[in-house]
Structure 1
Amino acid sequence: MNFLSHYYFDRHTTNCYHVLGTVLPDLLKNADKSIILHPQEYNYTDGPAHHIFNGWEKHLEVDRHFHNANFFKTHSHQLKLALLPALNGSPVKPFFLGHIAIELILDNLLLTTEQITAHGFYEHLGSCEDEVIIEFLTKSGMKDPSLFIRFFTKFKNDQYLHTYARTEQVAYALKRICMRIWSNPFTPGQEAAINEVIIDYRKKLESNFLEIFSEIEAKLLC
């Protein structure tokens, strides 16, 4: 799941460090995909770092339930098939695009149906102190946490997740993600074709997309 979908499960919390933890694994990948941390090997018993760790563990649990769900398997596959004609000549792997597309569509639907707000998400992140984050990253084995802090500051300042509320921006977001792997993933024509597929598929999901969130919430309570 993407940032806002993870936030959905803790949208009512008042603890900013827990919210940060629920998206920190993905933030670290975006900062530098070579970063691999194993905070579970360390002892976080109290304080803000403990809340980050709890959020981190929840992130992993939510992703595990999501990727094993029939919803994800079905819709990522159907999106892959729907996107195939637009990918003729593109280096992007169809399975990868289907996977990312369903996650971005869910973020879009959460925003456009007002289940959450991007403002609330960013407000939590903005309340976290860099010193606490550095403490957590250092204890978890990161040699240069300043690399992440620079990225995190830019991420908060850019606030690009607000654009996910505009469905026509989802294709652009897909392109941005793909550019981390391929320098020229889509032509303008391919991007336009992808956008049409995204808009059409979003309409199909709008009436029942919350079922996957309810399904995961039920499993989190078990």
Structure 2
Amino acid sequence: MNYLSHFYIHQKPNDPYFNAGLILPDLGRSFVKTFKEVLINPADLNLCAISNGCLQHYEADKLFHGSEFFKWGTLICTEELKDLHFNNVVEKRWFIGHILFEMLLDRLLVRHQPQVLTDFYDQIQLADLNQIKEFFILSKVNRKEKLLQYFNHFRKVQYIRSYIDTNLFVYSLSRVLIRAGLPALTFSDRAILEECVKRMENDIFKDAYHVLLRLKKVF
């Protein structure tokens, strides 16, 4: 799942450290192998909350990726991508379909349940950077200062808000592909994908309430 979907499913009201932990495994993927084995003093409640959020993230991803809902959505997106006539070579469409489906779930939340997005950013803004840094130290994160800057940049820029704009949504997808080692989508190919996203949202994903309800039922 993507950032906002993790929060939507497992958020804890007024627990910014747990909620920050829900997104750290994805933010920290290039910096640390896992946040699963962090030794924390039980008396450090904030650090324990961050750790518990991370563990919840891993458990949620395991359930989600093994679900019929994930297989259904990924297959739909992959088949749609296979039928597109891009102007340039676009490889690993099965992988792009996987990423697209997860990002589309976040986009559905942004478009149809905007309060979830507001609550998400409000919560992670409340997490003190010193506590996050201490958790990174205990986690033996490589380049912990860089990851701390990345976390702070993520919550300040709030780029998930841009998902409501189809052009910026597809641009964000292209950026994800770059980080995964794939070529960026060209301007013309992004335009083709934009039309694909609009078609799917007007057809298969038209009933956002039902799609998000199916997501919840996975857990």
Partner residue, 1:220:
none
Q: Structure 2: how far apart are the matches of 1:73 and 1:44? A: 39
Aligned length: 214
Q: Structure 2: how far apart are the matches of 1:178 and 1:109? A: 21
Partner residue, 1:58:
56
SS in 1 for 2:141: coil
Q: Structure 2: how far apart are the matches of 1:76 and 1:114? A: 22
Structure 1 pair 116–10 and aligned structure 2 pair: CA distance change class (3 A): farther
Partner residue, 2:140:
141
Which among 15, 35, 40 is matched to residue 37 of structure 2? 40
Q: Structure 2: how far apart are the matches of 1:38 and 1:153? A: 18
Alignment of 1:12-31 (within 5 A): 13-29=13-29
Structure 1 pair 142–103 and aligned structure 2 pair: CA distance change class (3 A): same
* Amino acid in structure 2 at the alignment position of 1:62: A
Gaps of 5+ in 2: none
Q: TM-score, normalised by structure 1?
A: 0.87
Q: Structure 2: how far apart are the matches of 1:190 and 1:209? A: 27
Q: Quick check: 195-204 or 92-101, which moved more? A: 195-204
SS in 2 for 1:209: helix
Q: Structure 2: how far apart are the matches of 1:172 and 1:93? A: 18
Alignment of 1:166-185 (within 5 A): 166-182=165-181, 184-185=183-184
SS in 1 for 2:185: coil
Matched, 1:74 2:72: yes
Q: Structure 1: how far apart are the matches of 2:115 and 2:102? A: 15
Gaps of 5+ in 1: 218-222
* Amino acid in structure 2 at the alignment position of 1:69: S
Q: Quick check: 139-148 or 113-122, which moved more? A: 113-122
Contact 2:31 2:142 in 1 (8 A): no
Structure 1 pair 102–28 and aligned structure 2 pair: CA distance change class (3 A): same
Runs of 4+ in 1 over 3 A off after TM superposition: 86-89, 181-184
